[in-house]
Structure 1
Amino acid sequence: MTTDRKYAAGEKETLHAGLDRHRDVVLWKLRGLDDEQLRRPMTPSGTNLLGLVKHLASVEYGWFVSAFGEKVEPLWFDPYTDEDMTVGPGETTQQIIDFYGRARAAADAVITGRPLDALGRPDWRDHPVSLRWVLVHMIEETARHAGHMDIVRELIDGTTGDQPRRTGTA
């Protein structure tokens, strides 16, 4: 019997795999939709799929990269306002998806390069946080917004779930 490594890994690898699972769901929620659908506000507050991806990229940079003293790419918006939840007319879908990919890669470098008990200090907090705490927090944050994305996607085209439906039986 083969055991998938992620089910028998150590703490850090398990946490990282959990985060990656939710990150993949976020990207899957975008597949098959056109630009108008990705930007369409589906709640009174204006929540849309692409804005949620932009926000998640921003918080990956903040919690993992900036908090642990690494350089964050120059941002074209203010991450301390709701600008990270909105997508302007000059921002492209590919720009936001690429931004999320770069944030994820930069965060992964921090995760793999430090022990779980490494301390970072976000500039908006008055106390340090461990990498372990940040991993757990970002699993929560990403899962929360992936759930929002599930609802928004269902409202757009009826698609639900956290992965493509399998066809046939195994």
Structure 2
Amino acid sequence: MTTSESVYTAGEKDILHTSLDRHRDAVLWKLEGLDDEQLRRPMTPSGTNLLGLVKHLASVEYGWFVESFGGEVEPLWFDPYTDDDLTVGPGETTRQILDFYGRARAAADAVITGRPLDALGRPGWRDHEVSLRWVLVHMIEETARHAGHLDILRELIDGATGDHPRTAATGTA
């Protein structure tokens, strides 16, 4: 992957991967400084919470990147084809979900770095092939969408907003 300065002139794959990583990092930043109750607190009538969104993103990274391209997905303790991947049960720990997201990211990154953008995969739940390029764009959209949800939920919890930490002196990154 490229450095932050060279991403503006990098190749397509590096630009897409860097964009995905930026949104992934924003997702994790939205959790910083919150306690377990705040991470699990249902913030919408449907029960959406910060930690549930991270669990969902881990699940879809495994599905779209790893499963679609023939990789081995770790055994899941929930059904990823139901809303189980958006909820956090009482027996699931914050560390378990964060570690799951880290492993999913690493497995997805291995697929991204190990295949060309034109590589084709077949999601088990679809009847057609997808290119790695398409999956990267889709996962940028998916992660950015949920990072936006996380931003709103975090603002409702403690007022924090934005997609990256601000410095105290200037208010900028």
TM, length-normalised to structure 2: 0.95
- Distance in 2, Cα, partners of 1:167 & 1:152: 23
- Distance in 2, Cα, partners of 1:71 & 1:14: 26
Tell me what 1:84 maps to: 85
Structure 1 alignment gaps of length 5 or more:
none
**Aligned-partner SS, 1:146:** helix
- Distance in 2, Cα, partners of 1:31 & 1:91: 18
Could you tell me how far 1:6 is from its partner in structure 2? 1.4
Tell me what 1:68 maps to: 69
Tell me what 1:19 maps to: 20
Query: Per-residue CA shift, 1:5-47, capped at 9, x if unaligned?
Result: 2121100000000000000000000000000000000000000
Tell me what 2:113 maps to: 112
Structure 2 alignment gaps of length 5 or more:
none
- Distance in 2, Cα, partners of 1:69 & 1:29: 32
Matched to 1:56, the amino acid is: L
Q: Percent identity?
A: 83
Matched to 2:134, the amino acid is: W
Tell me what 2:45 maps to: 44
- Is 1:5 the counterpart of 2:20? The answer is no
Matched to 2:85, the amino acid is: D
TM, length-normalised to structure 1: 0.97
- Distance in 2, Cα, partners of 1:87 & 1:22: 22
- Distance in 2, Cα, partners of 1:18 & 1:7: 11
RMSD: 1.0
- Distance in 2, Cα, partners of 1:5 & 1:24: 18
